[in-house]
Amino acid sequence: MHDSFLCEAPGVDETRHDDEGALALVTRLALAKARAVAARHPGAWVIGSDQAAVLDSAAQGEIVLGKPGTAERCTQALRSCSGRTVAYRTAVAVLRQSDGGAHQFVDTTRVKFRELDEATIERYVARESPLDCAGGFKSEGLGISLCETIESEDPTALIGLPLIRLCAVLRRVGYRIP
């Protein structure tokens, strides 16, 4: 096996279906992304991934926080996370179209946010602009200052791709890492 790789946008519509839960959403999108790229590169192993942030509410059940897209929606999402635990569900699909090879898994990382006042939220959104991140938060930058705790089997999962488990899958299909 060679060590080269390409990053390619899958061109998949990421719109959530009505009544689709977070687990179903991220699993469907990771698979759709991998399939879209695998169709263009049938002999290659292709990685697709997707992530959603989930709040559990006694009154509303599961609340899926997607990518906010605007500063206003980002601020609203972070307000709803303040003082609460958010589950980040990350699904990964590794496929090769030519022989039907397929591996899938889901990681769940739990982030306990500290109590966030309006000034903190506004400063964070202005400085980091995490508008394309699930729940309007990214731990790899200033967002880590918004946390009380993070519970995870794989600390890389929170940035959108659980590399520990992905490396295990890639080794299983023949890649030497490292």
- Confidence band, pLDDT 50/70/90 cuts, at residue 66: confident
Domain membership flag for residue 10:
no
Percent of the chain surpassing pLDDT 70: 98
Q: Does residue 3 carry a pLDDT above 70?
A: no
Residues tagged active-site: 50
pLDDT for 147: 97
Instruction: Please answer whether residues 111 and 51 qualify as being in contact, where contact means their C-beta atoms are separated by less than 8 angstroms.
Output: no
Domains of the chain: total: 1
DSSP 3-state of 12:
coil
pLDDT band of residue 5 (cuts 50, 70, 90) is confident
Give residue 61's pLDDT: 87
Strand segments, DSSP code E, in 58-153 are 61-65, 85-96, 101-113, 147-151
Whether residue 11 lies inside any domain: the answer is no
pLDDT band at 137 (very low <50, low <70, confident <90, very high): very high
- 62, part of any domain: yes
Residue 8 lies in a domain: no
155 within some domain: yes
In a domain, 42, yes or no: yes
Q: What is the CATH number of the domain that holds 126?
A: 3.90.950.10
Q: Average per-residue pLDDT in the chain?
A: 94
Residue 99, pLDDT above cutoff 90: yes
What would the mean pLDDT of 73-100 be, rounded to a whole number?
97
Residue 2 has a pLDDT of 57
Question: In terms of residue numbers, what domain contains 78?
Answer: 22-172
- Whether 49 is in a domain gets the answer yes
Q: Distance between CA atoms of 78 and 11, rounded to whole angstroms? A: 28
pLDDT of 1 above 70 = no
What is the phi/psi pair of residue 73, to 5°? -70, -30
Average pLDDT over residues 77-94: 97
Partners of 88 in the beta sheet? 53, 109
Give the predicted TM-score (pTM) of the model. Answer: 0.92
> Does a structural domain hold residue 16?
no
